[in-house]
Structure 1
């Protein structure tokens, strides 16, 4: 397998990425003068209105916070011109948000030759736990507009001249501690709350449901979105009630809790699933996911282009063993082979194609490529097979998968032992290779965020920050999200799925925040629920 290496000069996030807006400097300095800072030096968000706290139920409070404000003279839209990945690539099909200085200068010069007045701006990263502060790349932008309509009109001119691009709202570049933010904080004091923290999904893992529907079905007091989802199913390690029902992205962050949330920890996790049959054994590549599709990468071997975690990237593997449990629903059909195991581990069928139903309490093992040859050679109808699930924490210690154990892998980690701690490279939120568009858009720029943690008093914290809503709430970059969680008192904290998936609701009040999708709340793969 060919691997690509990550250059520190082409790495991670924003935090005040844009530098050049001319004008007199005010006191305090205008947003344009705010310089990138490491997370330890990030300024706290400043409240712009008194917090509003309500009681959801005994031991559960909900506080809505307003931070920052809109700066009418500075909060502007702009035209963001895309760059080609290759330095000499065609401009008419360019699709990267930023790149090396030389490429940005080439695009800027080409724009000037067409009568535009572009500016080239540096995007820098903060320091993460595993990545020093550095230059991520350079962007090319045109104009500053009070309304998006002005930026859209000039974008049309830019495209007509043979370039590509989009519109951007500058306060959403990330790291602006003065930008408006709406933050919703739910705290659960288990000394008074007699219920429990739990995870939930729809009738099957293979399918999505809205948070409010899942809450209603479970009779839940409150809930929040949890894991990201791909191919209509959740992605990442998922251990529910001691059963491993979701594939691990090896080495990514997750939460482990027991006692209904009373014991809560953020850590990184790896999993090993072993199939034994006829005196032979082999490692199973995944659990309850489409064979060959390794979303977020971080698989167990043979994956391309990388075996390292890479968030929102689909790696592939033509030779896999994937286990399906009853939670999945109807397994996918296709070429390859499969074995059907009943609840006792007896092999009831071996098939030369895939798609058999999972028997009650049993499982199916689907195989593709060379793994299909192995399966057909070692499993026989009437024989027995055993599957062993093991999960290991960051120290390599095996996690006891008791009926009271739940692990939900999302990430990245935000706060560990009371300190801001984001493993940007280890968690795969910095993209390998020259195209850092994902890193810029997902890690650096402001987005809606959902987070979970534990505060200094041992209370559970569930936090949603609205975003992508110009002038109302811009959202946060990852480093700023970590800083906010620490500011709110977190001792441990982890990022959940975000963007349009970010949603918080209570049984009494419905949806608490303003989801960024124009259609409202999304259907989700998994959720976190407070059950009475």
Structure 2
């Protein structure tokens, strides 16, 4: 998707004055901010912090921030499990002691819980055995525990616990676009230009000839959770709806020179020629598998449950050309529609070729019986694919893009993390491991003047960069001047490219192929 006069900034992490900014393309500016009042608020006080700003083009800068040092108190440990009730952790500690293993209980408290929609300050308790300077030692302890029949959930690194202050370190990459000076375009793209099949960000960056890019929203990775490459949430490209929402979740909405971070959801309805109506369950995904839930009549929940794959045996799914060449081969009934939504063929689903400019409706279970009973070749159907943003219908123009994400981190200039509402607190264990634990993150924010911010934070790399929790991510966005902020897909997906080369350090040691990205093109 192409844009002119893009109104967004990807920050140089603090409000650097014009006197500090480079004036020529690819010029660099470096400053040590140790003990500066402008330091980021993450971590303990008075940590070393440096920033290096490079101008990529007139009005476009890349800033790299390195903050903190590895703590001499950091350690690896064999983490037994997470316990909701402390008494359960105490019983396991007793059992361990009887077998000769020392262990400790760590109570997990939610920092900044007053700024979330999760009311509990205490989330639960973690039982750990040993404090080791080397991972190999912790792995040896874990094996000894397993040999005695005890569970070990993982080898944990002390500085990944985002409920405790840390010395870091952190590596943060930021892009800044000045819309008054940059005369380029913003493009969004999906991997290989279709739903099925992810692509690395650098490959997509080469295809767009971009000067900078970041990864986009959540998506399905494995076939056991749906269609690999399918966005796990609302996705719109060039005004075309690619996938349905996960309940009502925070999304990044781009429309020409305007950007908005807001709660959005889809409302999809099918009306047949005989005036019967039924909801369309999804778009461009395998029937029956709903990644992160939040759909219609899903099991175990209609509410968002992040990283859970819900099921529904009775669905109607719409397929368009962007899905791929043909529909999935599943048991069901399908109707093939031309560009005017006239039914041109119908029958049992068998992996039918998706017509150019047309679509296919595939139904399973009881929904298949309903569709067969209420449709005939030659009839016309009506599909209403509406998007509601904060309860209001969002018109889709050919300049509209929507990237899924969640949760909301900032609202009206204040930290306001809606982790429970958006499906990250379906269990306290999950919330601890996903939201309170430090991970690589990709963030988006909007300043009060309408400028948009993108930030990547490396993680899962002791001694180099440990990542951030949800709360720390919100602090970071607020530090750099955002008034609205959200989380995009992170972890192994967190990637930023500069001049089509990866500039951050992806946590898996190499780029992960992702579903979509956002690209800055001269």
Pairwise TM-score range, normalised by the shorter structure: 0.7 to 0.9
After TM superposition, give the deviation of residue 531 of structure 1 in Å. 2.5
Matched, 1:524 2:511: no
Say if 1:275 and 1:284, in contact at 8 Å, map to a contact too. yes
Aligned counterpart for 2:251 among listed residues 254, 259, 273: 254
Q: Distance in 1 between matches of 2:483 and 2:43?
A: 19
Q: Distance in 1 between matches of 2:357 and 2:79?
A: 54
Q: Which residue of 2 aligns with 1:415?
A: 410
Matched, 1:384 2:383: no
Q: Which residue of 2 aligns with 1:209?
A: 199
Q: Which residue of 1 aligns with 2:89?
A: 104
Query: Please, what TM-score do these two structures have when normalized by structure 2?
Result: 0.87
Say if 2:237 and 2:402, in contact at 8 Å, map to a contact too. yes
Alignment of 1:406-485 (within 5 A): 406-432=401-427, 436-485=428-477
Alignment of 1:104-183 (within 5 A): 104-126=89-111, 127=113, 128-165=115-152, 166-175=154-163, 176-183=165-172
Say if 2:189 and 2:237, in contact at 8 Å, map to a contact too. no
Aligned counterpart for 1:515 among listed residues 501, 506, 514: 506
Q: Distance in 1 between matches of 2:75 and 2:449?
A: 41
Say if 2:242 and 2:322, in contact at 8 Å, map to a contact too. yes
Q: Which residue of 2 aligns with 1:343?
A: 339
Q: Distance in 1 between matches of 2:61 and 2:83?
A: 42
Moved over 3 A (4+): 41-47
Query: Relative to structure 1, is the Cα distance of residues 44 and 400 closer, same or farther in structure 2, using a 3 angstrom cutoff?
Result: farther
Q: Which residue of 2 aligns with 1:64?
A: 64
After TM superposition, give the deviation of residue 460 of structure 1 in Å. 2.4
Secondary structure of the corresponding residue to residue 480 of structure 1: helix
After TM superposition, give the deviation of residue 177 of structure 1 in Å. 4.5
Secondary structure of the corresponding residue to residue 54 of structure 1: strand
Q: Distance in 1 between matches of 2:44 and 2:181?
A: 30
After TM superposition, give the deviation of residue 217 of structure 1 in Å. 1.1
Query: Relative to structure 1, is the Cα distance of residues 255 and 46 closer, same or farther in structure 2, using a 3 angstrom cutoff?
Result: farther
Matched, 1:268 2:263: yes
Matched, 1:306 2:304: no
Say if 1:419 and 1:491, in contact at 8 Å, map to a contact too. yes
Query: Relative to structure 1, is the Cα distance of residues 314 and 405 closer, same or farther in structure 2, using a 3 angstrom cutoff?
Result: same
Give the RMSD, CA atoms, in angstroms: 1.6
Query: Please, what TM-score do these two structures have when normalized by structure 1?
Result: 0.85
Secondary structure of the corresponding residue to residue 105 of structure 2: strand
Say if 1:45 and 1:177, in contact at 8 Å, map to a contact too. no
After TM superposition, give the deviation of residue 489 of structure 1 in Å. 1.3
Q: Which residue of 2 aligns with 1:280?
A: 276
Secondary structure of the corresponding residue to residue 340 of structure 1: strand
Structure 1 segments unaligned to the other structure (5+ residues): 1-40, 83-96
Aligned length: 468
Say if 2:43 and 2:167, in contact at 8 Å, map to a contact too. no
After TM superposition, give the deviation of residue 198 of structure 1 in Å. 2.6
Say if 1:45 and 1:68, in contact at 8 Å, map to a contact too. no
Secondary structure of the corresponding residue to residue 193 of structure 2: coil
After TM superposition, give the deviation of residue 297 of structure 1 in Å. 0.7
Q: Which residue of 2 aligns with 1:240?
A: 237
Secondary structure of the corresponding residue to residue 455 of structure 2: strand
Say if 1:46 and 1:177, in contact at 8 Å, map to a contact too. no
Matched, 1:405 2:400: yes
